[in-house]
Structure 1
Amino acid sequence: MEPEKDIRITLIGAGTIGLSFAVFHLSHLPAPSHLAVYDTRANADQYIRDSLPKFFSKDSTSLSRSDVRIATSLHDAVSNADIIQESGPENLQIKQDLWAEVEKHASKDALLWSSTSGIPASQQAQKMQDKTRLLVVHPYNPPHIMPLLELVPSPSTSEAVIQRTQNFWRARNRVPIHIHQETTGFVANRLAFALLREAIHLVDVGVVSVAELDKIVETSMGPRWAVAGPFKSYHAGGGPAGLEGFFNNIGETVQGCWNDAGKVNVGDGWEDKVFAQAREVYGTVDVAERDRITRRLLDVLEEEKGEKTQSDGPSKS
C-alpha cells in the first residue's frame, strides 16, 4: 500500500482520537475528499466541522476541512473504503455489534482497525464471520503528533493484515510496533500506568506533591526517555559492562525499590488528595501548548538522528 495509491479512509467515531487521526490522514491523503467520517451523534456534521480545525497546527492551515465527507450511515461510510478505522466508545458490546455490521458492507480487502485502549481484537471480533480481518491499531495520544502505533492482533488476525498495516504506517513515517500477544492495556499504557501508580503512592504517603513529582519526571527520565528507552538508558548507565554492570552496581537498590513499590488501587481513598492537588496546580491543561512543544521535541529528535545517520554513513573520500 503505497502513499501514492488512491486510498480511501473511513473513520468511525469523532471523539478526540478520531479527530486527531482525521488531521493526520488529511495531511497524507491525495485529496481531503478521500476521508470520510461517521459519528452517531445527532449533530455530527456541525460538530465535526466545528471541532476539527482545533486539531490543526498553524503550519497545516492550508488543508481543507470543508471537503471531508461526513457519512450519514454506516453503510455509506464503509462501502467504498480501503481502510476502516474505529475510535468509538470503550464498550465491548458496541464494538462487537459494530464490526459485525461493518463486515456486511465493507470491501473484502478493506483493512479493519480498532484504536481501542484496552479491548482486545479477539473479543471485538466474536460476532464477525471472518475474524482474521480485525487488528487493534492503538495510538499514543494525540496520534496526529505521536509516532507510535501498537499493532495488537488476535490469535486469528492474518499475517497479511499485519504486514499491510505496517507498510501503510511506515510509508507515512510512523512507528508501527507489532505486539506479539494480547495483554491488558497493551504495552505503552502498561509502562505509563506502572509509573503513574508509583507516582500516586509517593504523593499519597507524603513523599512529594503532585507538582514536585511532575517536575522530577520532566527534568530527569522524561527528556532521557525521549532519546532512549529504559533498556538502552540503563545499558548506557552500566558503562562498558552495560545493563549487567548496572545491576551489578546498584541491583540491591533496584530490588529495594521494587520491594517497596506502592500498592495503591483505584478506589483505595487516595483520589480526593491527588485529584485536589492536580486541580489546584493545573486547572485545565492547555493541550495546544503540550502538542506544540511535543511536536518541536519530536522534530529535534528526528533532525538529530538524521544527522547522526549521515555522519555514520560511508565516507565519500
Structure 2
Amino acid sequence: MSETTEHPPPADGPPAGPRTVAVIGAGTIGLGWTTLFLAHGLRVRVNSRRAGAEKAVTEALGTLAPGLPGGGHDPGELAARLEFEPDLERAVRDVDVVQENVPDDLELKQELFRRIGAAAPPGALLLSSTSRLLPDDMGARMDDPGRLLVGHPLNPPHVIPLVEVVGGRRTDPDAVEACVAFYRSVGKEPVVLRKPVPRFVANRLQAALLRESIHLVQEGVVTMAELDTVVTRSLGPRWAAVGPFQAFHLGGGEGGLRRWLGVAGPGMDRAWQDLGRPRMTPETIDRLGDLAERTYGTDTYAALAAARDARQNAVLEALARVGAGDARPGGDGTPDDSTDDEDGPRGGP
C-alpha cells in the first residue's frame, strides 16, 4: 500500500459548478451515479463496455429515479441530458468530472487512468469509485496524477449520503477541495480520510458485522431473516441517529464513554475472542445464496431495490426533519458497501 499525505477535511465552500460528467462503467454503482447526477441537472455521458449498456441505463432510470432523495424524478426528463459514447477518449474529452466505476483490477485501472488523464481537460476532476485501491497506485502511469482521487460511494449511491474521499502523496490539495465541493453539490456527504487504509472505513465496519452475522446464521443461532430483524430493530435505528462512539458515550450515563469503558472495557478482549471466523468457501457461498433466495423470495431486483430506497429515504427524511443529519456537532458525515462492475454488483467488504 502506498503512503499518502494526510488530508484534513476541507472547510465548506461554494460548489465548483461542473456541468458535464463522464460516468465510466454501467454496473450497479455507475447506474446509481448516473441517475443522481442527472437529477442534479448535470449532463451525463456514459462510457461502458457492457453489452446493452444503453438499455441497462434507460431501464435503471425507470427503476431508480422514483426513489431519489427529496422525491422522485421523471425518468424521461432525466434522459434528456443523457449521452452515450463508446469511445473512452471521446467520452472524457470535454467534461468537468470523470466518475470511474470499473472492476477493482489495478492493471485495468492504471491503463484506464493513463488514457483518461491524457484525453480529459487539464482541469477535470478524475474520481474513482474503487472500494480498496489508492490514487497513487491507480495513477502510476499518468503524467498528471494530482487530480485523481477516490470517491467511494455506498450502495445505493443515489440514496446513501456518504462518499469516502481519499487522496494520495501526489494529490493536489485544491483537487481535494474541488472534489468535496462537487459531491456536496449533488447532495452527498463527503468524508476525507486522514490516512489510507485498505478498504477504507465504511466497508471495514460492514465487514466486521457481516462476519459475525454469517457466523451466527451458520451456527443456527438465528435465521437470516431473524438476523436482519435484530439489526433493523436495534442497531440500525440507533446508528441512524448516533454513531457507535456516541451511542456508548450515552450508554455510560453522566460518566460518558470513560465510565462505560471502565465497566465494560476489561471484558471486551474476551468478547472479541469469542467472535466467529467463518470461511468463505464455495460451500459456504452456496449455502448462504440458497438461504437468501428462500428468505427473500422471488421478487425482482427492481422491486426489492425500490422498497429499499423508499425505506432508506424515509429514514433520511425523518432525520432531516429533526435536524439530525449529523449527530456530532460540527461533524461532516455518516453511513453502507461496494464499488462497481460492468455486469452488476460486486465489491463490498
Per-residue CA distance 1:99-152 (angstroms, 9 max, x = gap): 000111111110000001222222211111122221000001111111000001
Paired residues, what number? Answer: 306
Residue in structure 1 matching 2:74, options 58, 61, 73: 61
Tell me the equivalent position of 1:189.
203
Pairing of 1:182-261 with structure 2 (within 5 A): 182-261=196-275
Tell me the equivalent position of 1:11.
23
Moved more, 192-201 or 39-48: 39-48
The 1:245/1:168 distance shift into structure 2, 3 A limit, reads same
Cα contact 1:3–1:172 (8 A) shared by 2: no
- Could you tell me the TM-score, scaled by structure 1's length? 0.89
Tell me the equivalent position of 2:306.
288
Cα contact 1:227–1:301 (8 A) shared by 2: yes
Greater helix content: 1
RMSD over aligned Cα atoms? 2.3
Moved more, 263-272 or 95-104: 263-272
Tell me the equivalent position of 2:94.
80
Provide the secondary structure at the position in 1 that maps to 2:171: coil
CA distance in 2 between counterparts of 1:97 and 1:308 reads: 39
Per-residue CA distance 1:233-269 (angstroms, 9 max, x = gap): 0000001111111112222443332121112232285
The 1:36/1:307 distance shift into structure 2, 3 A limit, reads closer
Which letter does structure 2 place at the counterpart of 1:302? A
Tell me the equivalent position of 1:137.
151
Tell me the equivalent position of 2:33.
21
Q: Which has the higher contact order (CA 8 A, sep 6+)?
A: 2
Tell me the equivalent position of 2:54.
45
Which of 1 and 2 has greater Rg?
1
Per-residue CA distance 1:31-77 (angstroms, 9 max, x = gap): x5x22111123533333233332211162116331431112311221
Shift of 1:2: 4.8
Tell me the equivalent position of 2:344.
none
- Could you tell me the TM-score, scaled by structure 2's length? 0.81
Cα contact 1:154–1:181 (8 A) shared by 2: no
Pairing of 1:108-147 with structure 2 (within 5 A): 108-147=122-161
The 1:151/1:275 distance shift into structure 2, 3 A limit, reads same
Moved more, 76-85 or 203-212: 203-212
CA distance in 2 between counterparts of 1:129 and 1:248 reads: 53
The 1:166/1:210 distance shift into structure 2, 3 A limit, reads same
2:207 aligned with 1:173, yes or no? no
Tell me the equivalent position of 1:313.
none
Shift of 1:78: 0.7
Cα contact 1:204–1:273 (8 A) shared by 2: no
- Segments of 5+ residues of structure 2 without an aligned counterpart are 1-12, 328-349
Provide the secondary structure at the position in 2 that maps to 1:126: coil
CA distance in 1 between counterparts of 2:16 and 2:168 reads: 30
- Segments of 5+ residues of structure 1 without an aligned counterpart are 310-317
Provide the secondary structure at the position in 2 that maps to 1:85: strand
Per-residue CA distance 1:136-194 (angstroms, 9 max, x = gap): 00001111111000001122212111111112222343210001222111100000010
Provide the secondary structure at the position in 2 that maps to 1:154: coil
Residue in structure 2 matching 1:274, options 272, 275, 288: 288
2:89 aligned with 1:71, yes or no? no
CA distance in 2 between counterparts of 1:250 and 1:4 reads: 47
2:104 aligned with 1:95, yes or no? no
